[in-house]
Amino acid sequence: MSYLQSVPPHDLAAHLADHDGKSVLRFITCGSVDDGKSTLIGRLLVDAKLVFEDQLTNLGRVGSSGAVNGGEIDLALLLDGLEAEREQGITIDVAYRYFATSKRKFIVADTPGHEEYTRNMVTGASTADLAVILIDSRQGILQQTRRHSYIASLLGIRHVVLAVNKIDLVEFRQSVFDEIARDYKAFAKKLGFASIQPIPIAARFGDNVISASPNTPWYKGPALLEYLETVQLDPPATERPFRFPVQLVMRPNANFRGYAGQIASGSVSVGDPVVIAKSGQRSSVKAIVTFDGNLTTAAEGEAVTLVLADEVDASRGNMLVAPAARPFVADQFQAHVIWFDANPMLPGRSYILRTETDSVSATVTALKHQVNINSFAREAAKSLQMNEVGVCNISTQAPIVFDAYKESRATGNFVFVDRVTNATVGAGMIDFPLRRADNVHWQATDVNKGARSAMKSQRPAVLWFTGLSGSGKSTIANALDRLLHARGKHTYMLDGDNVRHGLNRDLGFTEADRVENIRRVAEVAKLMADAGLIVLVSFISPFRGERRMARELMEEGEFIEIFVDTPLEECARRDPKGLYEKALAGKIANFTGVSSPYEAPESPELHLKTVEEDPVALALKIEAFLDRHREEK
């Protein structure tokens, strides 16, 4: 809501123009649990008369669980909009509030303090200019203070208000305030904030929230609202280079082809030369089209449609950029990653990497180190757990266009999406491209896959046998291999145990190693298919994500997933290698089906039940499938 006027302004148009032109400050409140984040925002809104009357009276009716603080209203309830939040008296998810004073407009994101909900704090921080970091005067700097300060700086927040709250509970003592401010500044030195403003506050009673408090005569600085109204944000940098991520290609008819998007940085005018980032093709801007008429120039933040002078190839995910200052185009880069998911981030596992408009398969090729939130020390790690931050080398299946995050938030960020659950599992801030990507190019060969498979009179295929240990994968694959060989087909069988004797001898059976095991085998199978072979891969391959990764590596229709379905009890009964006996006795860690999960295929090309038919009959079934499959293509 807007600030209230006692008398409606006579000149409405002038008032509206003034209101529309006010600068906007986006800020978050963060800090540890119970430091009073929601209460502070509630107090700010109430004292500045920015809350509707019915919303205030509503607080009374909601309060079944501790809504009232000894007769006064619990201001946090203005913000904690979820039932679970009110029940538990905590903030779970970020709440956005909008308000304006005579000087500025504000968008505040009230973010949760619990470590468990770090992802929601990151959500609020990603678009903020300033962070109000709360500290309980009695507690001083806590781990969450450090975590949130680090994340704020990582996400590009440059300005901090250190709200030293509950100062009333330490008798408004200056010494407490000074000590906390000194500690914080010493700690935050490494974080590179442009400004840190400490303010002693009692959010519950309003001391130094909207006006100077008589209880802290020793404090000569601004009250919180005054500071927020006047803090100088970074002055607009010298013109930033033009970046226009292509969101949508508009082709309403044969005569019109426009690129729709929102200008991420810089500006563009009709006649300006532009480059299509991924191809390096050049063109120039012929028209800037909007519903309200064509423009001659458009600037950062505007959503427009650009028409180019030439026919070029630019689709969603590409970027139109200034020829003189180009972004990076690479498929390998280093980034800081914050992990959100309960399943840890594993190097080698394939994720979907999403930038503002692009989406590609990506794997973390190396987790260089994890960052210790308390000391900022770099620590070795094999995986990233939930709420951890790491520095990673990332490899994408196709090149993406980006800038360094510290140069440009809009074009330097990405998120990781889980391939199976579609959950947003991580956030990334790109540091720089890796040189390797520039220097290693795919070598095109004259004798190609088509020529090689034609000589063998066969269509290459990757037959991927998945199932529990002892389910009969290798037995069936072996039978099929003999059938195909007898028919003059060129085949090769990759067996899990055999590959672990050589190529993958350095890998164990942890989740991370299993992911890498499958990645390598999938890459080898791809090379063999490229050589024109029919490849039989017999691996437990317990995770859906990796099997999907393998499928996507191959050409359309080339990957045939065969689920060798044998109940666990039956596998344990057969126990050809005596492994189940050991596993059930607890002598083998991470044994699939016993102490490590097996994710059954949801829609395999073939589903074989081994308790009903013998291996040769099943191999014949696959052969028949292959013949049919061939005819269809």
Residues 117-146 that bind another protein (CB under 8 A): 119-120, 122-123, 126-127
539/543 with CB nearer another protein: 543
Q: Which of 184, 414, 465, 539 binds another protein (CB under 8 A)?
A: 414
CA distance 218 to 231: 22
Spell out the residues 6+ positions from residue 196 whose beta carbon is closer than 8 angstroms to its own. 159, 160, 161, 162, 184, 185, 188
Q: What token pair was written down for 47? A: 């004292």
Q: Indicate which single residue of 287, 366, 410, 507 sits in contact with another protein (rule: CB under 8 A).
A: 410
Q: Measured from the CB of residue 301, what is the shortest distance to another protein in angstroms?
A: 5
Mind giving me the DSSP string for 376-392? --EE--SSB-TT-EEEE
Q: Binders of another protein among 516-575, rule CB under 8 A?
A: none
**φ and ψ at 432, to 5 degrees?**
-165, 160
Q: Report the residue from 262, 281, 365, 372 that binds another protein according to the rule CB under 8 A.
A: 262
Q: x/- site string to another protein, residues 223 to 242, per CB under 8 A?
A: -------------x------
How far apart, in whole angstroms, are the C-alpha atoms of residue 509 and residue 521?
15
Distance (Å, whole) CA 599 – CA 247: 36
- The conformation of residue 167, written as its DSSP 8-state character, comes to G
Q: Which of 153, 408, 541, 596 is catalytic?
A: 541
Nearest approach in angstroms of CB 291 to another protein is: 4
Q: Which stretch binds another protein (CB under 8 A): 52-60, 130-138, 194-202, 624-632?
A: 52-60
Q: Tell me the pairing of strands 195-200 and 534-538.
A: unpaired
Angle between helices 511-530 and 544-553 (to 10 degrees): 20
Indicate which single residue of 70, 71, 214, 252 sits in contact with another protein (rule: CB under 8 A): 252
Residue span binding another protein (CB under 8 A) among the ranges 13-21, 141-149, 271-279, 464-472: 13-21
User: Residue 518 CB, nearest distance to another protein (Å)?
Assistant: 22
Which residues 6+ apart lie within 8 Å of 463 measured at CB?
A: 477, 480, 534, 535, 536, 537, 560, 562, 622
In degrees and rounded to multiples of 5, residue 41 shows phi and psi of: -65, -40
Residue 354 binding another protein, by CB under 8 A = yes
Cβ pair 399, 387 in contact under 8 A: no
Mask for 64-93, x = binds another protein (CB under 8 A): x-------------xxxxxxx-x-----xx
CA distance 630 to 150: 57
For residues 467 and 559, the answer to whether their CB atoms sit within 8 Å is no
Question: Distance between CA 63 and CA 83 in Å, rounded?
Answer: 11
What is the footprint of another protein within residues 14-43 (CB under 8 A)? 15-16, 19-24
Of 170, 212, 260, 391, the one binding another protein (CB under 8 A) is 260
Q: How far is the CB of 221 from another protein (least distance, A)?
A: 27
Please select the residue that binds another protein; options are 286, 409, 551, 582, rule is CB under 8 A: 409
Q: Which long-range contacts (CB under 8 A, 24 or more apart) does 1-10 make?
A: 1/50, 1/51, 1/52, 1/98, 1/99, 1/100, 2/99, 2/100, 3/48, 3/49, 3/50, 3/99, 3/100, 3/101, 3/102, 4/49, 4/50
CB of 7: closest distance to another protein in angstroms?
8
Of 64 and 175, nearer to another protein (C-beta) is: 64
Q: Is 349 in the site for another protein (CB under 8 A)?
A: no
Q: How far is the CB of 332 from another protein (least distance, A)?
A: 20
Scan residues 180-219 and list those touching another protein (CB under 8 A): none
* Closer residue to another protein in complex, CB, 397/424: 424
Rg (CA), the chain: 30
* Contact indicator for 79, 98 with CB cutoff of 8 Å: no
Q: Is 361 designated active site?
A: no
- Kindly write out the interface string for residues 581-620 of this chain, putting x where it contacts another protein by CB under 8 A and - elsewhere: ----------------------------------------
**Residue 98 engages another protein in binding (rule: CB under 8 A):** yes
Out of 424, 478, 510, 590, the only residue in the binding site for another protein (CB under 8 A) is 424
The set of residues, in sequence order, having a beta carbon less than 8 Å from that of 408 and lying 6+ positions away, is 240, 243, 264, 265
* 198 or 261: CB nearest another protein: 261
Instruction: Check residue 62 for interaction with another protein (CB under 8 A).
Output: yes
Restricted to residues 271-300, the positions that interact with another protein (CB under 8 A) are: 289-292, 299-300
CB under 8 A: which stretch of 160-168, 353-361, 519-527, 574-582 binds another protein? 353-361
Q: Quote the CA–CA distance of 354 and 413 in Å, as a whole number.
A: 9
Residues binding another protein: number (CB under 8 A) = 85
Taking CB under 8 A as the binding criterion, the range among 48-56, 159-167, 459-467, 568-576 that sits at the site for another protein is 48-56
Whichever of 206 and 317 has its CB closer to another protein, that residue is: 317
Backbone angles phi, psi at 180, to 5 degrees: -65, -45
Near another protein by CB under 8 A: residue from 14, 194, 248, 617: 248
For residue 612, how many other CB atoms are within 10 A of its CB?
A: 9
CB of 38 to another protein, least distance (A): 11
Could you tell me which stretch among 3-11, 135-143, 465-473, 526-534 binds another protein (CB under 8 A)?
A: 3-11
Using an 8 Å Cβ cutoff, are 197 and 161 in contact?
Answer: yes
- The minimum distance between CB 183 and another protein, in angstroms, equals 30
- Give the single-character DSSP code of 479: H
CA–CA gap between residue 547 and residue 532 (Å, rounded): 21
Q: Which one among 41, 75, 95, 345 touches another protein, defined by CB under 8 A?
A: 95
What string marks each residue from 368 to 407 as x (binds another protein by CB under 8 A) or -?
----------------------------------------
Strand partners, 565: 609
Contact call for residue 313 and another protein (CB under 8 A): no
User: Using the rule CB under 8 A, is 8 a contact of another protein?
Assistant: yes
By the 8 A CB rule, do 353 and 330 touch?
Answer: no
Catalytic residues: 541
